Amino acid sequence: MTVRVGLLGAGTVGAGTFAVLARNADEIARRAGRAIQIVRIADLDLDRAARVADGRAEVTTDASAIVDAPDIDVVVELIGGYDIARTLVMRAIAAGKHVVTANKALLAVHGNAIFAAAHERGVMVAFEAAVAGGIPIIKALREGLAANRIEWIAGIINGTTNFILSEMRSRGLPFAEVLAQAQQLGYAEADPTFDIDGIDAAHKATIMAAIAFGTPMRFESAHIEGIRHLDAKDIRFAEQLGYRIKLLGIARRRERNGLPLGFELRVHPTLIPSSRLLASVEGAMNAVWVHGDAVGHTMFYGKGAGAEPTASAVVADLVDVTRTLTADPDHRVPHLAFQPDALSDLPVLPIGDIESGYYLRMAVADQPGVLADVTRIVAQRGISIGSVLQPEPGAGENSTDVVLLTHRALERDVDEAIAAIEALPTVLGPVVRLRMEDLS
């Protein structure tokens, strides 16, 4: 009666999954009601697979020997990437296997096709490990908060960028220097693009938005900005104003006159008040803030990456799958939280239509009347200003920085105001624009 699992990928998370399942085999079986065992491991590097298996599982370089094998009940996909993983997952589904995956890129981009195929074939595709590592946020959104109309989500869901931002703030260093250190420490990859440009966070935000709002995956419509161009100066000014800058993945419903308008789906550096719990999430930790209409604010915190935290989520999915392995599909939790025939076609709003607070920084000539000109331009567009910071110019300098914090405004209006501000002869160079959320 043992559930037989085939593992694709013997890298860090694959090794962690094998280790956790072996070490906690007894407790896991006491929970699941059946033993769960990885019986076969596929990896192109056979030695690596053999080191993980250590004689306790068959090893192969041929992943198809797992996805097609009649003696395998569940396939765990930990290869990552789009193409090969997609082919293997689709073959596993076609062969009637349940699938557990940690692959956010795959689900954000090809999830709609994968879930349709899984529904058709009557198998489960579980993906707790795809978002925020060991934090059971998928289960929380899909089941624990199922009573709620989920209004919005804001998550620190990429550990690499949070580590870099924490170091930039606490040590006052520029981005490039901290990135180089993070790469040396193994916190950032040799090619850090996916992390620092916000793509990884956007994959995860896409998945959370789908299960929160009951829509298909809409990664192609996400607005994505990373932290590559973030100036240490803005972190410092934000701190003086009582804010910290975090790379947030945000999904928020919007209505007009009580009718659904769409939802915002965006990843970007964001000012949040230093007093908020989310602002205190430092280093490589992850946290997701969720607001539901009944529950109010909630927050889920933990390690977002690493071998065993991610394995914790993979194995929790294996336990879930085990429990309903032989149940009628109607008794299972739907993949995307909502029944597949009840998904909504709520669109993602274009970035110009989002609402946010804004941080605007500009260099201005040190002469009377500049601030009055700038604030008039902002006020004319119906945007109200919360705070202004204008440090004294240094000795011998004839320009200074001005920082404005606005209340919530439509981004399109803010863009117009910025264009008008940049046209002022007393404003020197482009305006730096960051978004701000007060999480209330």
Single out the residue of 119, 303, 361, 435 in contact with a copy of itself (rule: CB under 8 A).
303
Parallel, antiparallel, or unpaired: how do β-strands 385-389 and 125-126 relate? Answer: unpaired
Q: What is the DSSP letter of 340?
A: G
Question: Is the distance from CB of 400 to CB of 391 less than 8 angstroms?
Answer: yes
Stretch that binds a copy of itself, among 142-150, 241-249, 354-362, 414-422 (CB under 8 A): 142-150
Q: What is the DSSP letter of 117?
A: H
Stretch that binds a copy of itself, among 229-237, 311-319, 375-383, 417-425 (CB under 8 A): 311-319
Size of the residue set binding a copy of itself (CB under 8 A): 68
Whichever of 180 and 277 has its CB closer to a copy of itself, that residue is 277
Contacts of 138 (CB under 8 A, 6+ apart): 127, 128, 130, 131, 207, 208, 211
Residue 416 identity (one-letter amino acid): E
Single out the residue of 43, 73, 151, 320 in contact with a copy of itself (rule: CB under 8 A).
320
Task: Give the residue from 157, 136, 244, 257 showing the smallest Cα distance to 201.
Answer: 157
Q: Any contact of residue 3 with a copy of itself (CB under 8 A)?
A: no
Other CB atoms within 10 A of residue 401 CB: 17
Site string for a copy of itself, 33-72 (x = CB under 8 A): x---------------------------------------
Residues marked active site are found at 204
Q: Any contact of residue 136 with a copy of itself (CB under 8 A)?
A: yes
Cβ-defined contacts of 325-328 (< 8 Å, 24+): 325/3, 325/73, 325/74, 325/98
CA dihedral 380, 386, 392, 394 (to 10 degrees): -90
Question: Is the distance from CB of 15 to CB of 82 less than 8 angstroms?
Answer: no
Q: How far apart are CA 42 and CA 10, in angstroms?
A: 7
CB of 363 to a copy of itself, least distance (A): 36
Q: Any contact of residue 375 with a copy of itself (CB under 8 A)?
A: no
Single out the residue of 4, 332, 381, 412 in contact with a copy of itself (rule: CB under 8 A).
332
DSSP per position, 15-81:
HHHHHHHHHTHHHHHHHHSS-EEEEEEE-SSHHHHHHHHTTSSEEES-THHHHT-TT-SEEEE---S
Q: Any contact of residue 28 with a copy of itself (CB under 8 A)?
A: yes
Q: Any contact of residue 281 with a copy of itself (CB under 8 A)?
A: yes
Q: Any contact of residue 328 with a copy of itself (CB under 8 A)?
A: yes
Q: How far apart are CA 166 and CA 342, in angstroms?
A: 41
CA dihedral 182, 188, 189, 190 (to 10 degrees): -30
Whichever of 194 and 338 has its CB closer to a copy of itself, that residue is 338
CB of 330 to a copy of itself, least distance (A): 7
Task: Give the residue from 252, 424, 224 showing the smallest Cα distance to 355.
Answer: 252
Single out the residue of 334, 362, 377, 427 in contact with a copy of itself (rule: CB under 8 A).
334
Q: Any contact of residue 184 with a copy of itself (CB under 8 A)?
A: no
Single out the residue of 89, 314, 348, 378 in contact with a copy of itself (rule: CB under 8 A).
314
Q: Any contact of residue 146 with a copy of itself (CB under 8 A)?
A: yes
Whichever of 203 and 253 has its CB closer to a copy of itself, that residue is 253
List residues binding a copy of itself (CB under 8 A). 16, 20-21, 23-24, 27-33, 128, 133-136, 139-140, 143-149, 214, 277, 280-281, 292-303, 306, 308-309, 311-316, 318-320, 323-324, 326-328, 330-334, 337-339, 342
